[in-house]
Amino acid sequence: MHADVTSRTIEEAEVALQQTLGPDYRLMTLVSPNIARRARPGQFVHLRLPGLDPAYLLRRPFSLHRAVGDRITILYKQVGVGTAAMARLRSGDRVSVMGPLGNGFPPLPDGFHPLLIGGGYGSAPLFFLAERTSQKGVVFLGGKGRTDLLGDSDFKALGWDVHMATEDGSAGCKGLVTAMLEKWLAEHSSLPTVWYACGPDGMLRAVALLAVEHGVQAWLSLDRRMGCGAGVCLACVVKIQDPEKAGSWKWARVCRDGPVFESRQILWEGEFA
């Protein structure tokens, strides 16, 4: 709710490349010049997947992982029918892409250090942000196991300091990414930081609590089920504080008013007024 929606387009994009990223994740690169040109970190695209059983009508939302030249890249996990159809696409196949959608991450204010906190494929938009942020910072990646830590070497190649945590201890610290973040904060309490996070709700909620505790601004990118992706169907809503009426809430559309919100705006489940 901090920037205007840029102009969007729908274009038939050609699949340039499909790569695997460990056993569970993939990267798909599309030639999508009009979207690549406009894309900002934190925005997403809505894909109509040609191999999807036509009995399923909806597009599928994915964060922009990269936008370079006339190409965009998506980092995805196969979880259901749509992402399975996506995994079957090959170079030369065509996909209808709607985007870029939503408001991206706001730029880093001067004098602050960026901290990125990603869970699983939540690291997808954070890498795009790291690529477009000249000031290097610290990345915290978390996941269930080693294979859920995505892109650590890419962040390192950009010159960022990467910290990793896995719940099963198969890589990095054993435990939650937010526990690792908390430890880091204790050791760097004098550094002014702004946080950018994307991942499962549980992680984002923990990040939001820490942000309040440390008096830090934290921008969270939310993941909600979507219909239109364009602000018309009202399927993707989340409760936020009403900026005009203290103490009351209103619905915000994740697709249009988000997907990025400041952590204090969001009223999580159970916090309903």
Partner 1 sequence: MSVPRLETAIGRIRMKNPVMTASGTFGYGTEYADLVDFRQLGAMVVKGISLEPWAGNPPPRLAEVRGGLLNAIGLQNPGVEGFTRDYLPALRELGIPVIVNIWGRTLEEYEAVATRLEAAEGIAGLELNVSCPNIKEGGIAFGTDPAMLERVVRAVRKQTSRTLIVKLAPNVTRIDPLARIAEEAGADALSLINTYPAMAIDIETRRPVLSNVTGGLSGPAIHPIAVKLVYEAVRAVQIPVIGIGGIVEARDAIEFLIAGARAVAVGTVNFTDPTAALAVVAGIRDYLVRHNLSDVSELVGSVRGP
Ligand X SMILES: Cc1cc2nc3c(=O)[nH]c(=O)nc-3n(C[C@H](O)[C@H](O)[C@H](O)COP(=O)(O)OP(=O)(O)OC[C@H]3O[C@@H](n4cnc5c(N)ncnc54)[C@H](O)[C@@H]3O)c2cc1C
- Residues in touch with ligand X (CB under 6 A): 44, 58, 60-63, 75-77, 79-83, 121, 124, 223-226, 259
Q: Note the residues at the interface with partner 1 (CB under 8 A).
A: 7-10, 48, 53, 55-59, 96, 98, 224-225, 227-238, 251, 256
Between residues 17 and 56, which has the closer beta carbon with respect to ligand FES?
Answer: 56
236 near ligand FES, judged by CB under 6 A: yes
* Cα within 13 Å of Cα(161), Cβ side: 9
* Cα within 13 Å of Cα(10), Cβ side: 8
Between residues 226 and 252, which has the closer beta carbon with respect to ligand X?
Answer: 226
Q: How far is the CB of 10 from partner 1 (least distance, A)?
A: 6
**Alpha helix positions (H), 66-196:** 81-88, 123-132, 152-157, 177-187
173 near ligand FES, judged by CB under 6 A: no
Measured CA to CA, the distance from residue 27 to residue 77 in angstroms comes to: 9
Residue 189 token pair: 């309490």
227 near ligand FES, judged by CB under 6 A: yes
Longest dimension (CA), the chain: 55
Q: How far is the CB of 174 from partner 1 (least distance, A)?
A: 28
Q: How far is the CB of 128 from ligand X (least distance, A)?
A: 10
Residue 79 binds which of partner 1, ligand FES, ligand X, none (CB < 5-8 A, kind-dependent): ligand X
Measured CA to CA, the distance from residue 145 to residue 142 in angstroms comes to: 8
What is the distance of C-alpha 177 from the center of its chain?
A: 16
Sign of CA dihedral 251, 257, 263, 265: negative
Residue 210 is inside which H or E element, if any? Answer: helix 201-214
Q: Which SS3 state, helix, strand or coil, does residue 271 take?
A: coil
Residue 66 binds which of partner 1, ligand X, ligand FES, none (CB < 5-8 A, kind-dependent): none
Q: What are phi and psi of 86, to 5 degrees?
A: -65, -40
Between residues 209 and 233, which has the closer beta carbon with respect to ligand FES?
Answer: 233
Q: How far is the CB of 265 from partner 1 (least distance, A)?
A: 17
Residue 7 binds which of ligand FES, ligand X, partner 1, none (CB < 5-8 A, kind-dependent): partner 1
Between residues 118 and 137, which has the closer beta carbon with respect to ligand X?
Answer: 118
Q: How far is the CB of 8 from partner 1 (least distance, A)?
A: 6
Measured CA to CA, the distance from residue 237 to residue 201 in angstroms comes to: 14
Q: How far is the CB of 187 from ligand FES (least distance, A)?
A: 40
Measured CA to CA, the distance from residue 145 to residue 170 in angstroms comes to: 6
Residues that bind ligand FES (CB under 6 A): 226-229, 231-236, 253, 255-256
